Copies of this chain bind each other. A is one copy, B any other.
Amino acid sequence: MGNRNRRGPYVCGIDAAMDVVSGKWKALILWELDHHGVRRFAELRRGLPGVSEKMLVQHLREMEDDGLVHREVYREVPPRVEYSLTGHGRSLNEALAPLGEWGRGRIGRIGAERLRVEAAR
């Protein structure tokens, strides 16, 4: 399964943060949970179009191990599991905010460039 190797030693802070955030859907999961507060498994799945069950579970488990996500299991039938961010997870999201801002600027740049290219031909 998800092997969860690495986890240090890290050469710098970025390195440590990237180790926790890298994974195709993790940033999105972070955003989704931060935005909605609490989400069930199926809700997350719907909120992340294209994610497979396997990757969603795997990412959630790793994020739980990393102390970013809290997993609350209700022993019912049918089963219900709710995911939410821990304080640590929320702080990561805040630290990620400027990067998101930068990325949005970059998307704008690319869009503008693309428009110029298309106009040129």
Contact = CB atoms under 8 A, between A and B. Distances in A.
A103 B13 contact: yes
A103 B31 contact: no
Interface SS of chain A:
helix
Interface stretch (A4-12, A36-44, A52-60, A69-77): A4-12
A100 B12 contact: yes
Interface residues of A, number: 34
Given A8-B110, A15-B28, A27-B14, A95 B104 contact: no
B27 A18 contact: yes
A104 B19 CA distance: 12
A115 interface: no
A100 B19 CA distance: 12
Interface of A: 7-8, 10-18, 20-22, 27-28, 31, 91-92, 94-107, 110
13 contacts: A10-B103, A11-B28, A12-B28, A14-B99, A14-B100, A14-B103, A15-B27, A15-B103, A17-B100, A18-B103, A95-B99, A96-B99, A97-B98
The 5 closest A-B pairs by CB, nearest first: A13-B103, A17-B103, A16-B103, A13-B100, A95-B102
